[in-house]
Structure 1
Amino acid sequence: MKLSIFKKIVFVLFSTGLISSCTEQYVFQNQNFNEALVVEATLTNEMKYQEVKLSRTISINDSLGSTEVGATVSIIDNNGTEFNFDEGESKYVSQNEFKAEPNKEYQLKIITASGKIYLSNKEKLTTESTIDLETSVIDKEGEKGVQINVKSSDPTNTSKFYRYEYEETYKIKTIFEIVKPNTSICYSTYYSKEIIQTNTNDRSTDQVNYPIRFIGRSDYKLTNRYTILVTQYVQNRAAYEYYSTLKKMSETGNLLSLNQPGFAIGNIKSVTNPPEKVVGFFDVASVSKKRIFFNHTDLFPTEQPANYFMNCKAILVSNTTNSFGYNILKTHVILGTDYKGTYVVEKECADCTTFASNIKPSFWID
């Protein structure tokens, strides 16, 4: 299951400070408390079922917290149109597909099962800006590999603030094959785990050429076939600064432990109890997505790719019915037998379904 970035930054160590934005000050405090409502909500310009995630951290040692159940969730625009959400599994989903539209204001409203009311600031959709992806072969810190850059241009010069996420999928072909069908070809997907941002606020033109991903040429991800989907969110200044401060709370690109005594206050307030702290930010952002595919030979036509992501070597087991044979079959699979005994290999070398999916993704192009 993909763990959201907000789940990783609910609690972080950060001394009291202020961030100024063009609309409001967002405070990051460090204090003791019994619980905090955590809101994950990004309304986009995509026509789809929009989602809101609510959870509540019960104590400082509760790293993931519990899903907030029984809440009434809605988004209201400045014309009075109310988009209602139904409670689903671990999230609230809009009853109908809708999208954020330009020149309208949107406000998130939450009423918990206990009757507490929470409202966000009114937010407007940001400028739409399409993206493209470009690959190039470079040397980075002594390693040769492929650099993937996000490129975009806004002729209105009003986008300015950008946040990115990506998901990458690669094809796996096992070194060995076993009798069990559909175990030699799989697909593995990874998601970006850090807050990725850039801005053009100090430039005369709103043009982005941002290096979002570097992969070394010997990385197995490139061996068979690789694809990356990049999502760009155009943020307003307040949302950008909120995420930017969360990013600064991280260590070398990895978010700090959730078990630290701090939390972040965004643009969502408690109407019922104004001093109550609420974690999260209601973001209304225009979205652009781009996917590309490539093979190792496309970028490194004269160089051999990695054979596999681990060393694979079959071993001979004379007896699989004794304690040694029984234990080794917990981590190995049988390749075959002959008069000498049974040949086994680590599961990852012959059965990719032990760590990946053998179902070809719907977006996959060979």
Structure 2
Amino acid sequence: MAHLFTIKRYYYLLLLMLFSGCIDSYAPDVIEHPESFLVVDGFINSRGVTTIRLSRTVSLQNNGTIPVETKAVLYLEDEAGLRYPLVEGKAGTYQSAALTLSTAKKVRLRIKTAAQKDYASDYATVKVTPAIDSVSWRLQDGGVQIFANTHDETAQSRYYRYEYDETWEFTSAFNTYLEYNAKEKKVQRRSDDIYHCWRTENPTAIKLGNSVKLARDIMSEYPITLLPSNSEKLGTRYSIIVRQYALSVEEYVYWEALSKNTENIGTLFDPLPTQLTGNVHNLNDASETVIGFVGAHSLEQKRIFIHYTQLPLTRYMTGYEGCEAEVVPVPGEPWSDPLQYFINGEFIPLAEVGAGSYKIAPKFCVDCRLRGTTVKPSFWP
């Protein structure tokens, strides 16, 4: 009974604290920590181009852009001392030539910053990721579930990470062949198509899987993503490209910890944040914190398309729910110049419906470029 009383008294005091007006805001010291840590993002591609992005951490109170680490010298180095340089292109992004690295020699990344600080990742065994057998889909749980399937006959992979990009074709709410010429102050025939567009998204969810408890090294129907059956992505043609990486157990543990720290926090039952321990170190100051894990493996990817005719008939969301067209001047109202609706660009003419009258709609409902691009992707059918 005494234990029960103690619990009740605890929650009573907690309620008093929550509803009292004397609670001071608390900002952890880490929010104002002035130190900026080096962040190393990327992996050593054993069968292609290695891309490494260098940046710096910022305070939680900083709402600006993330600073990138420029003018650094990067190269890959194997155990025999052979080096492969990386060249900076876009600020903070460094790339090698297309390489084929031997699995017989461990390899690491070396970094010298513009401030003359030397960093290196731990030597890593070079892995070759098995090919993706297939990317499949089926109707499931009220939507379209996308799966990845692979296997490794040598049983040397076991630990996998997946990424994916989605692209879909869509149309705006209204098509038009007219546009307003602000220079000449007149409505004229449109020369470009702003009705058909494509949009690409790059989800950042960390997708991990392993086959350590299986007799065979196989990933069968690993769930990549679930699309609601009425998703706007499925309205015309949808494409997904899945990327697969075979990780070392150390790299897998790193990504698992990163996933728990960034995606599984928010309730009493979620794991507490843990200190991320990567494999990149300051060669002259082991106490310096460096964020990132540089593994050595190849990349496999596969793309599929889903056309709406392959799916059961349904009504898809469009993103243009609520869009309506109207005629100006409004019939019955005093006459006004309809061109005034086009001057500030908020409305676009759809059609001329009489002498000096136009059907119009808000720009968002007509110009699909506000939600995507009119440039057809090179891989699109």
TM-score (norm 2): 0.77
Structure 1: how far apart are the matches of 2:358 and 2:204?
Answer: 42
- 3-state SS of the aligned residue for 1:335? strand
User: What CA deviation, in whole Å up to 9, does each residue of 1:251-284 have, x standing for no partner?
Assistant: 4599xxxxxx996331001012221111111121
Selected match of 2:363 from 347, 350, 365:
347
User: What CA deviation, in whole Å up to 9, does each residue of 1:277-301 have, x standing for no partner?
Assistant: 111111212221111112121132x
The AA in structure 1 aligned to 2:172 is T
**1:205-284 equivalence runs, <5 A:** 205-209=216-220, 210-251=222-263, 264-284=276-296
Structure 2: how far apart are the matches of 1:169 and 1:70?
Answer: 34
Q: Which structure shows the higher helix fraction? A: 2
Query: Are residue 297 (structure 1) and residue 309 (structure 2) matched?
Result: yes
Aligned partner of 2:316 in structure 1 is 306
Query: Are residue 135 (structure 1) and residue 146 (structure 2) matched?
Result: no
What's the CA shift for 1:55? 1.1
Structure 1: how far apart are the matches of 2:325 and 2:139?
Answer: 36
What's the CA shift for 1:337? 3.6
Selected match of 1:198 from 197, 202, 209:
209
What's the CA shift for 1:31? 10
Distance 1:341 1:250, change over 3 A: same
Aligned-CA RMSD value? 2.8
Q: Which moved more, 1:125-134 or 1:75-84?
A: 125-134
Aligned partner of 2:348 in structure 1 is 333
The AA in structure 1 aligned to 2:243 is T
Identity of aligned residues (%): 27
Aligned partner of 2:61 in structure 1 is 61
Aligned partner of 1:153 in structure 2 is 151
Q: Which moved more, 1:197-206 or 1:311-320?
A: 311-320
Contiguous gaps of at least 5 residues in structure 2? 1-27, 178-189, 267-272, 330-335
Is the Cα contact below 8 Å between 1:83 and 1:94 reproduced in 2? no
The AA in structure 1 aligned to 2:53 is K
Is the Cα contact below 8 Å between 1:43 and 1:100 reproduced in 2? no
What's the CA shift for 1:222? 0.9
The AA in structure 2 aligned to 1:97 is A
Larger RCO (CA under 8 A, 6+ residues apart): 1
Is the Cα contact below 8 Å between 1:67 and 1:90 reproduced in 2? yes
- 3-state SS of the aligned residue for 1:35? coil
Structure 2: how far apart are the matches of 1:298 and 1:199?
Answer: 31
Moved over 6 A (4+): 320-323
Aligned partner of 2:200 in structure 1 is 189
The AA in structure 1 aligned to 2:244 is Q
Aligned partner of 1:360 in structure 2 is 376
Q: Which structure shows the higher strand fraction? A: 1
TM-score (norm 1): 0.80
Contiguous gaps of at least 5 residues in structure 1? 1-14, 16-28, 255-260
- 3-state SS of the aligned residue for 2:373? coil
Structure 1: how far apart are the matches of 2:34 and 2:230?
Answer: 48
Aligned partner of 1:91 in structure 2 is 92
User: What CA deviation, in whole Å up to 9, does each residue of 1:17-51 have, x standing for no partner?
Assistant: xxxxxxxxxxxx99945111111121123323x21
Is the Cα contact below 8 Å between 2:73 and 2:113 reproduced in 1? yes
Q: Which moved more, 1:129-138 or 1:333-342?
A: 333-342
Aligned length: 323
